[in-house]
Amino acid sequence: MTMQRDHQIYDSIDKEVILSRYVFDETVQYELDDSLDWVSALYDELEENTDREEEGYKKGNISVRLQLKRKSGKPFGDHLLVKGSIEAQYTAGCVRCLTLTPESVDTEFQCAFINSRFEKDPEFEELDDIFTENEEYDLYFYEKGKIEIAEMVHEYLFMNINHLPLHDPNCLGLCQECGQDLNKGSCIHHPAQ
């Protein structure tokens, strides 16, 4: 099946796409949410350490927008340009006291997938990005015409989340001796001051 531009926005894309299914110089757009299994799995991973049964838990959401454009020409040969964005609202535990904390991520990216044969080329082995179509794109490689879309989205998502969420910048945390939440009161190890 060849993907052709008909100004339609698709709501589904496989985790891995086949480059040859895209028409040269045609942009294909996708708007994805957690109704798609691999996008839902990304959301679940965001909340993998969150107790969803805990009081105060509120389910969030995730959306991914992608534009894919197949190109060909020197010096990259057959390649795919991807522009996208990820937005997510989710719940994470405060790193100091474990209180459920609303978190969000909103990021944009653009990358180019070129054939993996370039990976060992001295010209490309030190590069993290390439310049094409008057723009800079992060550099990714594909093998045998297969492009790992879900893996790339996963990488951009987790590079941009807050890895140390705090419910309050002045959080006192938990007592390391007895586990008392010091935001809610003192303990024998940390008397009130």
111 inside domain: yes
Residue 193 predicted with pLDDT over 70: no
Between CA 1 and CA 82 the distance in angstroms is 20
Tokens of 165: 């969420």
Q: How far is CA 116 from the centre of its chain?
A: 22
Tokens of 73: 């020409």
Mean pLDDT, rounded, for 77-88: 97
With cut-offs at 50, 70 and 90, classify the pLDDT of residue 138: very high
Between CA 159 and CA 42 the distance in angstroms is 13
Tokens of 22: 């895209």
114 inside domain: yes
103 inside domain: yes
The structure's pTM equals 0.89
165 inside domain: no
56-60, 72-76, 143-147: range with highest mean pLDDT: 143-147
Residue 3 predicted with pLDDT over 70: no
Q: Give the tens place of pLDDT for each residue, 86-126.
A: 999 999 999 999 999 999 999 999 999 999 988 888 877 77
15 inside domain: yes
Q: How far is CA 123 from the centre of its chain?
A: 28
Q: How far is CA 60 from the centre of its chain?
A: 15
Share of the chain above pLDDT 70, in %: 96
Between CA 30 and CA 144 the distance in angstroms is 23
* Residue 42: per-residue pLDDT: 98
3-state secondary structure 109-160: EEEEEEEHHHHHCCCCCCCCEEEECCEEEEEEEEECCEEEHHHHHHHHHHHH
* Residue 91: per-residue pLDDT: 96
Q: Give the tens place of pLDDT for each residue, 10-31.
A: 999 999 999 999 999 999 999 9
155 inside domain: yes
What mean pLDDT, rounded, does the chain reach? 92
Structural domains counted in the chain: 1
2 inside domain: no
39 inside domain: yes
| Among candidate residues 13, 16, 66, 22, the one with its CA nearest the CA of residue 5 | 22
Angle between helices 37-46 and 149-160 (to 10 degrees): 20
Instruction: Determine the structural domain holding residue 44 and report its residue range.
Output: 9-160
Q: Burial code of 125-155, b = ≥16 C-beta within 10 A, e = fewer?
A: eeeeebebeeeebbbbbbeeeebbbbebbbe
* Residue 1: per-residue pLDDT: 40
Residue 4 predicted with pLDDT over 60: no
With cut-offs at 50, 70 and 90, classify the pLDDT of residue 2: very low
At residue 85, what is the residue type?
S
